[in-house]
A and B are shown apart, each in its own frame.
Chain A
Amino acid sequence: MTENTKTPLVEIENVEMRFGGGGGFLSSPQPVVKALNDVSLTIEKGDAFCLVGESGCGKSTLARTVIGLNPPSAGQIKYNGNRIDNLNSRDRQPFTKKMQMIFQNPYASLNPRMTVYQTLEEPLKIHYPAMSRAEIRSKVEEVMLSVGNDPTWGERYPHEFSGGQRQRISIARALMLDPEFIVADEPISALDVSIQAQVLNVMMDAQKERNLTYLFITHDLSVVEHFGSRVAVMYLGRVCELSHTNDLFKTPRHPYTQALLSAIPKIDGSGVNPVKMSGEVPTAMDLPSGCVFHTRCPHAKERCSREIPALQDNGDTKTACFAVEEGRV
């Protein structure tokens, strides 16, 4: 990786996220869920940065933390070099304009009582109160057309549309303010295969035309391979491998990444032959000591259960694994 002297668009520094806790005086103490543990990432301008991992690994929590829906318990988030995680909502406004989010389920993320036009004009009314109605109308139409929606849809309600159309409306809403950075949390997993391709195309077109940066959360590795420029693989709230997409798919280094890649079903009829992992994913309420993956790792040694591996440079990629450091994988 070449050193970039420019400020990255988004910097996530040692972010921790804890849920729960509390109780104790009259009520019994509540368990603490350690959803994110010491996560550091940088997202460069123009990246399509993908976060992958299984349910419960903290990828959605990280996305929500970055966009400001949950403030982190510790650590910092910087946008264009400015710290944003500790701002109040008024100071945050200039940044929220630049950062938008697309959610997984387009049936839940659009207000059923608002017409498509009302949904799309709302961000403009909030952020540009001086904008005239004609300006708003032309902006809405422009964005609708750019994601392949018919502008006459404006007068209709979300329930009149199919899943793919609704997701394109959600994308249009995210694009209304001409953002620089879009967080997309599993935007295509609720959709059918042929529709997934349509929505991914819209997202890729928008990236090209508008010079967008994406943080794309998914569990579908074949989408990552197609769409992503860089990937972070997460497991139980930690990043275990960080790499360029090509490298990751060519030579996965971390044992968890290897297991994950071997589990992707392939259409070429090569059969089911996943790397065997022992046991189950532990819970984030009771993290294993040392490396969080050691309870399931085929390469785990005694050291893995004592020390926490740091994310270290390893050629072009970064891995957090003692077995990789010691050359055992």
Chain B
Amino acid sequence: MALLDVKDLEVEFPLGRKTLKALHGISFSLNKGERIGIVGESGAGKSVAAFSILNLLSKPGRISAGEVIFENQDISKLNRDQMRHIRGNRISMIFQDPMMTLNPVLTIGTQMTECLKAHRAISKEEARQISISKLRDVMIPSPENRMDSYPHELSGGMRQRVVIAIALLTDPSIIVADEPTTALDVTIQAEIMALMLELCANNNVGLILITHDLAVVSQVTERIIVMYAGRIVEEGQTQDVITNPKHPYTRGLIKALPQENSPGARLNQIRGSMPALDAIPAGCSFNPRCDFADEQCHKDIPQLTGPKTHTAACIHIDRIPAFQSTGGLT
């Protein structure tokens, strides 16, 4: 039994007379301690997917169909109070910008102990001790002193470490991280990613990593889900998806990376751009940008097919020539 089971999740945003569909029925599961990555470009629906799992969709967005089964209950149907016992407790979140996540007028210590006391019946002193030990886990130097610091006194990397420490406070079984390193520099990004990988592995915490960066995902996760225009277009073991992508979109993404092209040459590009939510083409939503598209692609919506370890949603999956890496991977 998977720890988290998302089944045919649909999300829509009613806007006046129109209703925009952000998710067209996505399904995936996460096992205990497993690390999966959801990749895609802006507008693919990856953040909406994460927010809907946590019941955090901002109004007027709503889950219009599907289930999110966590520890044998459908958490998409829970009310606010019930959800509070799960969110931030059993499932934690890490967002992109640590400055926005942390409260600027409260000390790190206050924010951490508050979070613990909201979920556990413990004394202030116990909460303080747990907080300090979590700060130590994320390698913050002299954690006792940092407890009295305000977020603005810390650098971006340190702030994100604090956010990770807060996410780990209640020993959650899943962490959902939405672009956790996008706002950080490369050297800091590498440190934070190494840290998250280590912490998740040591504490057997499941990770849902949402990012647009294929390289980051390939380093940290065991399984990858590729999203395009509100649908999952490919899913599989990280190594399989990276070295042998099946869907034309995934292939295009990988081939567009500079390290996949010889220096100075024109980059392989995917023409056009992701459709807006109110202009998603009929049939396969990738068809206007796809080199293999034909009449059938304009009519039928492809389903995920293939062996369980590596599926892709493309009608012509058998017709498309084998993927050949153009560089980097050798």
A binding-site residues for B, Cβ under 8 Å: 54-55, 162-165, 192-198, 200-201, 204-205, 219, 221-223, 225-227, 245-246, 259-260, 262-274, 277, 280-281
Contacts and interface: CB of A to CB of B under 8 A. Distances in A.
A164 B273 contact: yes
Interface in B181-221: 185-191, 193-194, 197, 212-216, 218-220
B157 A280 contact: yes
Given A198-B270, A265-B218, A269-B219, 16 more contacts: A54-B186, A54-B188, A55-B156, A193-B253, A194-B252, A201-B267, A204-B264, A204-B266, A219-B185, A227-B258, A246-B263, A266-B328, A267-B214, A269-B238, A274-B194, A277-B187
A223 B267 CA distance: 11
Contacts of A205: 266
B185 A223 contact: no
Interface SS of A by simple majority: helix
A200 B189 contact: no
Contact of A194 (B220, B256, B328): B256
Contacts of B268: 197
A188 to B, nearest CB: 10
A2 B212 CA distance: 42
B244 interface: no
Contact of B155 (A221, A269, A272, A280): A280
Contact of B259 (A201, A204, A267, A274): A267
A261 to B, nearest CB: 9
14 contacts: A194-B269, A197-B270, A198-B269, A205-B266, A226-B267, A263-B186, A266-B259, A267-B214, A268-B242, A269-B238, A272-B220, A274-B187, A280-B155, A280-B158
Contacts of B273: 162, 164-165, 192, 194-195
Contacts of A223: 258
A219 B190 CA distance: 14
Contact of B185 (A54, A193, A222): A54
Given A225-B258, A269-B218, A197 B242 contact: no
Interface of B: 41-42, 155-158, 185-191, 193-194, 197, 212-216, 218-220, 238-239, 242, 252-254, 256-261, 263-264, 266-271, 273-274, 328-329
Nearest to B191: A274
Given A197-B267, A265-B193, A274-B194, A54 B187 contact: yes
B328 A268 contact: yes
Nearest to A56: B185
Nearest to B266: A201
Contacts of B328: 266-268
B187 A260 contact: yes
A202 to B, nearest CB: 10
A226 B258 contact: yes
Contacts of B156: 55
A100 B253 CA distance: 31
Nearest to A272: B194
B218 A226 contact: no
A268 B328 CA distance: 7
B73 to A, nearest CB: 35
Contact of A268 (B157, B188, B274, B329): B329
Contact of A264 (B42, B186, B256): B186
A273 B191 CA distance: 9
Contact of A263 (B155, B190, B197, B220): B190
A246 B263 CA distance: 9
A265 B215 contact: yes
